[in-house]
């Protein structure tokens, strides 16, 4: 409901690359326990926006609020400590290392590898994304590699998990499994920011959608209350309204 303090709020955030505004005065509110879509065509500014939320890129201007309070997220480490986890579009995994070793690289050094492997295995089972912690990344499919990134994010117990175009590398069966995982995260009261340009996915799993076009918000809605044509219009403009 509208009274709840958003878990994350973005006010007028802008990212300039030279004179080009990849994100232009974007506003966004993510409520606790919702699956929120960030919908837009290639080049709309989706990845740039979430890189600012995860401390990978510094905003040119604008404000980020976490549970109603202004925050500076200067690095991925700060984002994780704030309670934000991220699954990137392009994974950063070391092929020659095992699943557990890859996860260990992003965690507190005081935790033993055996302990990390045990926790990763338990979490992967609990969330329906089974992983063998002793497997070498080089031997894993792209869907399995994505599971590593998801489990790595979940190990830090995030309140918000951001996934950037996760289904672009998945089979339809793997995508269905992922959607079940997202529903479980939601049932636990966590929020999900789900980036996609696929209308049918967004209408299937998302409670809210913020639509971007050319770096600007063109709509914020309940995607299930919209028609595919009305969502497409927000994404690409009025010229496709009849598609």
Q: Which does 6 bind (CB under 5 to 8 A by kind): Mg ion, ligand ADP, none?
A: none
Closest distance to Mg ion from the beta carbon of 124 (Å): 26
- Asked if 19 touches ligand ADP (CB under 6 A), the answer is no
Q: How far is the CB of 141 from ligand ADP (least distance, A)?
A: 24
Which CB, 98 or 167, lies closer to ligand ADP? 167
> CA 102, CA 150: separation in Å to the nearest integer?
12
The entry of ligand ADP, Mg ion, none near residue 44 (CB within 5 to 8 angstroms by kind) is: ligand ADP
Give me the residue label for tokens 């590699």: 145
Cβ-based nearer residue to Mg ion, 47 or 124: 47
**47 vs 102 by CB, closer to Mg ion:** 47
Closest separation in Å from C-beta 47 to ligand ADP: 3
Please say which residue, 47 or 98, places its beta carbon nearer to Mg ion.
Answer: 47
Told to check if 43 binds ligand ADP by CB under 6 A, we report yes
Q: Which does 94 bind (CB under 5 to 8 A by kind): ligand ADP, Mg ion, none?
A: none
* Candidate ranges 41-49, 114-122, 132-140, 233-241; the one touching ligand ADP (CB under 6 A): 41-49
Q: Contact region for ligand ADP (CB under 6 A) — 26-34, 37-45, 74-82, 171-179?
A: 37-45
Cα separation, 13 vs 220, in Å, equals 16
Can you say how many angstroms the Cα of residue 219 is from the centroid of all Cα atoms in its chain? 19
Among 5, 12, 17, 224, binds ligand ADP (CB under 6 A): 17
Q: Give the C-alpha separation, 233 to 240, whole Å.
A: 6
Q: Which residues bind Mg ion (CB under 5 A)?
A: 47
Question: Which residues make up the interface to ligand ADP (CB under 6 A)?
Answer: 17, 22, 40, 42-48
């Amino acid at each position: 409901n509208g009274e709840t303090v958003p878990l994350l709020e973005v006010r007028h955030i802008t990212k300039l690359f030279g004179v080009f505004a990849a994100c232009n005065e974007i506003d966004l509110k993510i409520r606790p326990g919702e699956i929120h879509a960030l919908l837009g065509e290639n080049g709309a500014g989706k990845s740039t926006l979430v890189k600012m939320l995860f401390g990978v890129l510094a905003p040119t201007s604008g404000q980020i609020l976490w549970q109603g309070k202004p925050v500076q997220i200067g690095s991925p480490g700060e984002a994780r400590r704030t309670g934000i986890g991220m699954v990137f579009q392009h994974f950063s995994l070391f092929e020659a290392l095992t699943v557990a070793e890859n996860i260990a690289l992003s965690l507190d050094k005081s935790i033993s590898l055996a302990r990390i492997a045990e926790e990763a295995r338990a979490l992967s089972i609990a969330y329906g994304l089974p992983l063998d912690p002793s497997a070498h990344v080089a031997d894993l499919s792209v869907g399995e590699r994505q599971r590593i990134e998801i489990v790595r994010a979940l190990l830090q117990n995030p309140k918000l998990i951001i996934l950037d175009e996760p289904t672009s590398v998945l089979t339809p069966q793997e995508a269905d499994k992922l959607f079940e995982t997202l529903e479980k995260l939601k049932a636990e009261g966590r929020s999900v920011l789900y980036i996609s340009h696929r209308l049918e996915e967004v209408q299937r799993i998302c409670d809210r959608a913020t639509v971007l076009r050319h770096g600007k918000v063109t709509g914020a809605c309940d995607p299930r209350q919209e028609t595919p044509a009305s969502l497409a219009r927000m994404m690409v403009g009025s010229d496709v309204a009849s598609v």
